[in-house]
Amino acid sequence: MEFKDARTGKPRSYHDLCPKTALIFMNHFWDGVADSPSWPATKPKYLMPNVEMYELQAHHYWDVDVVLCKTAICARRVRMWYQQEGNPRHTRVLYTRHTSSDAALYARHQHGDSANDVKPKNFSDVRFVHTAGKSMFKGTMAVLDCWLTRPDFPPLDVFVDQNIYDGFMKETYEEPIRAQAASRKITLHTGRVSADVFGKLMLEAAFLLCTSVLEGYGHYINQARANAALIVTTASPPMNELLSPRSAVLVSHPISTVKQQLLGGNFEGEHGLRGVQGMATYVKGAGICDAVERVLEMTATERQAMGERARRQYVLDTHFFAARMQQLRAMARAGDSRWYLDP
């Protein structure tokens, strides 16, 4: 992008105006920007990776000055990888945590706290909500496997993209869901959910199933924390970084390695991190059923207290992230990432 200098009439590029301002790249979405001949040699590159993504390769980590890690497992594994493979640029790894929008806050603004169309959370009347959206990695099939074997379980609402459902779930689950008893415990919602509807859902939902197979961070889990709901999630990082056994019901699971993950312990190419466990957690229906049974054994007061602890952690992490961004600004202005010592 070029700008015309009103004083001289000459064209000026963004790089001319900001030759030393760091640019943050998200994951592998670089689009050749840093490879441009006009990229200044003095301009730092920062990377905020989702370490579970298959597209991230060694050159992404070797070509940057700072790696911003939203999760502790990212910080640990990226540091281990530099120790194993070398760190020629003296790249700094900064653990930042992260934050997410509070969808319920938006809905509360739209509807008002006392609006008649918003139902208050009810921790006595158990009804679970599972939102998969367009992701195949939310453990949706395991959730359905569990509920289809337990007609005694409370109602379940599943929100999933139509194409994801048609391509990966319809053949297996369409008939069993239709064949449910008159009580119809599973209600399937396919298609896109508007921000207003999703926010209202967050306001009302007291029980959320966030059973991810893997996450780069887990924004929908973070939105569930902001909502102060009782959350069922996977007992593996980063899910169990966001939620502890005191703030959620954790699902046990088998761990698997994925050969496309550079930091996953079984990378099929060169420079993969060695000597670590896999980052994929293929949760099973039986594990989800066990977690739901634990929820049903709790009192309404215990369920609500667990949700409130999750909400407090959301607030603490948001403050932590804001403080880290202030430190990052100071580091960027200093012009040298190596001065910063991560505690």
CATH number at residue 254: 3.40.50.2000
Burial of 188 (0-12, 13-18, 19+ CB in 10 A): middle
Residue pointed to by tokens 């208050």: 120
**Looking at the predicted structure, is the pLDDT value of residue 340 above 50?**
no
Domain tally for the chain?
2
Residues 119, 233 within the same domain: yes
- Rounded to whole angstroms, how far apart are CA atoms 282 and 146? 14
* Continuous segment of H or E residues that includes residue 195: helix 195-204
Q: Which residue has the higher pLDDT, 305 or 337?
A: 305
Q: What is the mean pLDDT of residues 73-100?
A: 97
- Distance (Å, rounded) from C-alpha 222 to C-alpha 243? 9
Q: Are residue 130 and residue 218 in the same domain, yes or no?
A: yes
Pair (203, 290) in one structural domain: yes
Domain match, 61 and 124 both: no
Q: What is the mean pLDDT of the chain?
A: 92
Residue 69 resides in a domain: yes
Is 118 found in the same domain as 45? no
Read off the pTM: 0.91
User: Considering the domain boundaries, does residue 46 fall inside one?
Assistant: yes
Is residue 286 one of the residues assigned to a domain?
yes
Look at residue 67 and tell me if it is in a domain: yes
What pLDDT is recorded for position 174?
A: 96
pLDDT, position 282? 87
Domain of 255 in residue numbering reads as 103-314
The two tokens of residue 309 are 């602890």
Please check whether residues 88 and 138 belong to one and the same domain: no
- When mean pLDDT is compared across 4-13, 40-49, 155-164, the lowest value belongs to 4-13
Please report the beta strands in 83-166, taking only residues with DSSP state E, as ranges in sequence order: 92-95, 128-133, 156-160
51 plus 118 within the same structural domain: no
Cα separation, 202 vs 107, whole angstroms = 8
Same domain for 88 and 114, yes or no, is no
Bridge pairing between strands 207-210 and 2-4: unpaired
Asked if residue 169 is part of any domain, the answer here is yes
Q: Do 230 and 301 touch, CB atoms closer than 8 A?
A: no
- Residue range 294-320: average pLDDT? 98
**Same-domain pairing of 109 and 81:** no
- Residues 169, 286, single domain; the answer is yes
Residue 4 lies in a domain: no
Residue 270 sits at the vertex; the CA angle it makes with 28 and 35, to the nearest 5 degrees, is 35
Phi first, then psi: give them for residue 247, nearest 5 degrees: -115, 5
Compute the average pLDDT of residues 40-61. 95
CA angle 308, 314, 320 (to 5 degrees): 140
Cα four-point dihedral sign 208, 189, 133, 139: positive
Same domain for 134 and 66: no
The answer, yes or no, to whether residue 339 has pLDDT greater than 80, is: no
Determine the Cα–Cα distance for residues 280 and 282; give it in Å rounded to an integer: 6
> Does one domain contain both 144 and 182?
yes
Is 225 among the domain residues?
yes
State which H helix or E strand residue 229 sits in.
none
Query: Does 217 fall in a domain?
Result: yes
Task: Tell me what pLDDT residue 198 has.
Answer: 85
Q: For residue range 159-173, list pLDDT tens digits in order.
A: 999 999 999 999 999
How confident is the model at residue 114, as a pLDDT? 55
